[in-house]
């Protein structure tokens, strides 16, 4: 499934609604999976990402299966880039109506993936953590369920500091590289449960 078709598929799907409602959100979600603290079973993150059930992996020729295949390809591309040529990794940011880069959807997709394992991410989500800096340009575009900025408990409610964090979005590429390096020594220690009876896209 081409990226433009995948974007349309995500925007149209409502039952159940995918965690990513656009291609940019999907890309951020996948980046968090690749660069994050745990190596997850594909079912555990692809199903919520796309709003599909495990059985979708078993039926080739469907739109759901095509979307799964596209996700696997993007996951492998990001993983390969970060492992071999980190500078080649480029987030698929959205574009604002005026033509400016809009990192918001990508960042919200990243945070949606974080919420699958917030306990694991919490190691660096504390004030004073030197590695928290890598999350600031991402979390600056995210809010909690009450609509409050996720930066509030991390850097306080200073609007100037929060605005400065939003201006750091060009550093997101470097942040993803740094997060991948940080978690790599430990991410495979927690082995995900094995699954069976599914096809590999």
What are 145-198's pLDDT values in tens digits?
A: 888 888 887 777 777 877 888 888 999 999 999 999 999 998 877 555 444 444
CB within 8 Å of 33: residues ≥ 6 apart = 40, 45, 75, 113
Q: Measured between alpha carbons, how far is 73 from 92 in angstroms, rounded to an integer?
A: 14
Helix (H, G, I), strand (E, B) or coil at 141: coil
Reported as type and span, the H/E element at residue 101 is strand 101-102
The pLDDT of 51-73, averaged and rounded, is 95
pLDDT for residue 187:
85
Per domain, the residue ranges of the chain are 3-121+173-183
């Amino acid at each position: 499934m081409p990226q433009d078709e995948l974007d349309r598929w995500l925007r149209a799907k409502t039952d159940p609604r995918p965690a990513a409602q656009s291609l940019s959100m999907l890309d951020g979600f996948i980046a968090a999976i690749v660069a994050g603290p745990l190596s997850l079973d594909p079912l555990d993150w692809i199903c919520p990402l796309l709003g599909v059930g495990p059985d979708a992996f078993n039926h080739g020729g469907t739109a759901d299966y095509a979307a799964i295949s596209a996700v696997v390809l993007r996951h492998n591309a990001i993983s390969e880039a970060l492992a071999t040529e980190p500078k080649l990794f480029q987030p698929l940011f959205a574009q604002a109506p005026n033509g400016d880069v809009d990192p918001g959807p990508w960042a919200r997709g990243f945070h949606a993936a974080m919420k699958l394992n917030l306990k694991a991410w919490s190691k660096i989500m504390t004030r004073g953590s030197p590695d928290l800096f890598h999350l600031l340009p991402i979390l600056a575009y995210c809010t909690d369920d009450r609509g409050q900025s996720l930066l509030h408990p991390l850097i306080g409610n200073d609007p100037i500091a929060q605005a400065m964090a939003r201006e750091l979005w060009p550093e997101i590429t470097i942040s993803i590289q740094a997060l991948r390096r940080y978690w790599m020594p430990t991410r495979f220690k927690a082995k995900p449960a094995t699954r069976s009876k599914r096809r590999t896209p």
